[in-house]
Amino acid sequence: MVTIAFIGAGSVVFTRQLVADLLRFPELADVEFSLHDIDAERLAVAEGTARRLDGQFGTRARVRASLDRREALAGADFVINMIQVGGIAATITDLRIPASYGLQQTIGDTTGVGGVFRALRTFPVLTELTADMRDICPDAWLLNYTNPMAMNVWWASVVAPDIKTVGLCHSVYWTAHDLAELVGVPVEETHYRAAGVNHQAWMLELTHQGKDLYPVLRERIAADPELERRVRVEIFRRMGYYPTESSEHSAEYLSWFLRSPEQIARYRLEPLQYIGISEQNVAEFEEAKVLLRTGEPLPLEAGAAEYAPQVIHSIVTGTRREIPRQRGQPRTDRQPAPGCRGRGPLHRRRERADPGRDGRAAAPVRRAEPPLPLRRRADRRSRPTRGPA
């Protein structure tokens, strides 16, 4: 039996999607979910959600829940980290205090004031989590969804180079879907390749049946003046490759987009936008409690949209896939990788994760074995799933 520990399982809507995506794989029908959160109410809702989904799918999953992290890690083969240290209150503070001094942010989870303070809150917990894994489940994979991804995966590589760590994010997946829709081709018929760092990667290749889609993309953008009023389109126009990150994220990385009310209006930006998203997350948690109480079926996305279930399925079954990831795998020589931790293709098969190489991306993590080829077929289309708050 495969045991998957969820750390921060109280992110209930995200936990729901991960559990559903995992149970859709027949080979994981008897998986064990070990749920942990420090909030007893949220943990109870997460446990109820997992049990309800097991019933909806007619699978044979086992579900256990604990407020004790070490207890939850016992026997884990995979550990999915999706914590938000400080909760929504800390996130609001990260946004509102800088705003009171004239420093605008939209999301505040990757760089700048918000990203740095979120990282400083998270580093001690990551240190404790990886130490617990070393004691309790040293062979488990740590699959991290918690932002700031680049900083957190780098920190894990420093304090726990022996723990197999992979950072996962939705942005490349949904950029491919959005661009396929914009140019009018089925995403499942496209091929794409992306490289960069988390929350700032680039679509280095986007083709349909061997045809480069970039000329068509430029035509579609030029025909829509509103599209030209977006940060990522402005970056695309100047850089030549389409960025995988939202305009809201991208606006925080370059100093001029949020500098003045005129620029904010020109690029259709909304400062402090993540406060509204956080409030929506709270509303969704309350809705989840109602659904469990009334016995109504839980709403689900179609298909396996998240990467963690695909990674787990590939490692367990040997199914070969290629997905974007944040580098954090242990190196054979135990030395820090040169330069920045990069995002590029990751080839998954049983018991191994081989990073692809791309000369245009950040320096690759060296491995004892050679990488596999760099081509992938896009995943199926479905509606976006919000990650952990």
- CATH value at residue 53: 3.90.1820.10
Give me the pLDDT at residue 289, please: 96
pLDDT of 55-72, one tens digit each?
999 999 999 999 999 999
- Residues in contact with 159: Cβ distance below 8 Å, sequence separation at least 6, in sequence order: 126, 127, 130, 131
Please give the backbone phi and psi of residue 121, each rounded to the nearest 5 degrees, phi first: -75, -30
Residue 327: both structure tokens together: 């580098």
What would the mean pLDDT of 256-272 be, rounded to a whole number? 95
Predicted pLDDT at 334: 39
Mean pLDDT of the region 239-250: 94
Whether 12 maps to a domain, the answer reads: yes
Quote the domain boundaries for residue 178: 1-91+112-197+276-389
**151 sits in which H/E element:** helix 149-159
Written as six digits, the tokens of 185 are 């081709």
Per-residue confidence (pLDDT) for residue 356, from 0 to 100: 52
* Per-residue pLDDT at 12: 87
What are the structure tokens assigned to 49, written together? 């959600």
Can you say whether residue 8 is alpha, beta or left, with left for phi > 0 and alpha for psi between -120 and 50 degrees? Answer: left
Name the domain count of the chain.
1
Query: Lowest-confidence range among 2-11, 58-67, 319-328?
Result: 319-328
Measured in whole angstroms, how far is the alpha carbon of residue 160 from the centre of its chain?
Answer: 20
Which residue do the tokens 């996962």 mark?
Answer: 168
Across residues 192-197, what is the average pLDDT?
89
Q: What is the mean pLDDT of the chain?
A: 85
**pLDDT at position 173:** 87
163 lies in some domain: yes
> Cα(363)–Cα(136) distance, rounded to whole angstroms?
32
H helix or E strand, kind and range, residue 223: none
388 has a pLDDT exceeding 70: no
Give domain status of residue 225, yes or no: no
353 beta partners: 348
Domain assignment present for residue 312? The answer is yes
Question: How far is the C-alpha of 366 from the C-alpha of 142, rounded, in Å?
Answer: 19
What pLDDT score was predicted for residue 374?
24
Has residue 355 got a pLDDT over 70? no
Q: Which residues pair with 195 in a beta bridge?
A: 202
Residue 346 in this model has a pLDDT that exceeds 90? no
Percent over 90 (pLDDT), the chain: 75
Angle at the Cα of 75 from the Cα atoms of 69 and 77, rounded to 5 degrees: 100
Three-class DSSP category at 389: coil
Pairwise CA distance, residues 157 & 174, whole Å: 27
Which of 384, 107, 385, 114 is closest to 269 using CA atoms? 107
**Does the pLDDT of residue 3 top 90, yes or no?**
yes
Instruction: Please check whether residue 362 is in contact with residue 345, taking contact to mean a CB–CB distance below 8 angstroms.
Output: no
Helices (H), 140-244: 149-159, 171-183, 214-222, 231-239
Q: How far is CA 7 from CA 53, 106, 127, 200, in A?
A: 19, 26, 14, 26
pLDDT, residue 363, reads 30
* 3-state SS, residue 249: helix
- Highest mean predicted confidence (pLDDT) among 35-49, 166-180, 315-329: 35-49
Tell me which residues are annotated as active site: 170
Crossing angle of helices 12-23 and 307-317, rounded to 10°: 30
The answer to whether residue 263 scores a pLDDT higher than 80 is: yes
The whole-number average pLDDT for the span 288-308 is: 86
pLDDT, residue 325, reads 61
What is the distance between the alpha carbons of residues 317 and 97, in angstroms, rounded to a whole number? 48
**Considering the domain boundaries, does residue 265 fall inside one?**
no
If we measure between CA atoms, which residue out of 278, 276, 255, 258 comes closest to residue 267?
258
